[in-house]
Structure 1
Amino acid sequence: MKFQVICSIILCLISCAVELHGMNWKIVKMMRDTMTCMKDNGVNIDEFKHYVSGAGVPADHKLKCFENCQLEKVGIMSDGTYNMEYLKENINNNLADEEKKKQAGELISSCGSGLNDIEDVCDKGSQVFTCFRTNKDIMSSIIQ
Structure 2
Amino acid sequence: MKFQVICSIILCLISCAVAGPALVDVTSEERTRIIQITEDCFFSNNVTLDEFKHYVSGAGVPADHKLKCFENCQLEKVGIMSDGTYNMEYLKENINNNLADEEKKKQAGELISSCGSGLNDIEDVCDKGSQVFTCFRTNKDIMSSIIQ
With the shorter chain as reference, the TM-score category is 0.7 to 0.9
Counterpart AA for 1:32 = Q
- Aligned-partner Cα distance in 1 for 2:108–2:63: 28
Q: Aligned to 1:136, which of 131, 135, 140?
A: 140
Following superposition, the deviation at residue 73 of structure 1 comes to 1.1
State TM-score, norm by structure 2: 0.79
RMSD across aligned positions (CA): 1.0
- Aligned-partner Cα distance in 2 for 1:59–1:107: 24
- Aligned-partner Cα distance in 2 for 1:121–1:26: 27
Counterpart AA for 1:24 = S
- Aligned-partner Cα distance in 1 for 2:124–2:109: 25
Following superposition, the deviation at residue 120 of structure 1 comes to 0.2
Following superposition, the deviation at residue 82 of structure 1 comes to 0.3
Q: Aligned to 1:47, which of 40, 45, 51?
A: 51
Which residue does the alignment assign to 2:94? Answer: 90
The answer as to 2:127 corresponding to 1:117 is no
Which residue does the alignment assign to 1:73? Answer: 77
- Aligned-partner Cα distance in 2 for 1:32–1:58: 21
Q: How many pairs were matched up?
A: 122
- Aligned-partner Cα distance in 2 for 1:121–1:93: 28
- Aligned-partner Cα distance in 1 for 2:79–2:122: 19
- Aligned-partner Cα distance in 2 for 1:45–1:113: 32
- Aligned-partner Cα distance in 1 for 2:105–2:143: 11
Following superposition, the deviation at residue 29 of structure 1 comes to 1.2
Counterpart AA for 2:133 = F
Following superposition, the deviation at residue 134 of structure 1 comes to 0.2
Counterpart AA for 2:97 = N
- Aligned-partner Cα distance in 1 for 2:39–2:103: 36
State TM-score, norm by structure 1: 0.82
Higher relative contact order, chain-length normalized (CA < 8 Å, sep 6+)? 2
Post-superposition, which runs of at least 4 consecutive aligned residues in structure 1 deviate over 6 A?
none
Indicate the SS of the match to 2:46.
coil
Identity of aligned residues (%): 84
Rg: which structure is higher? 1
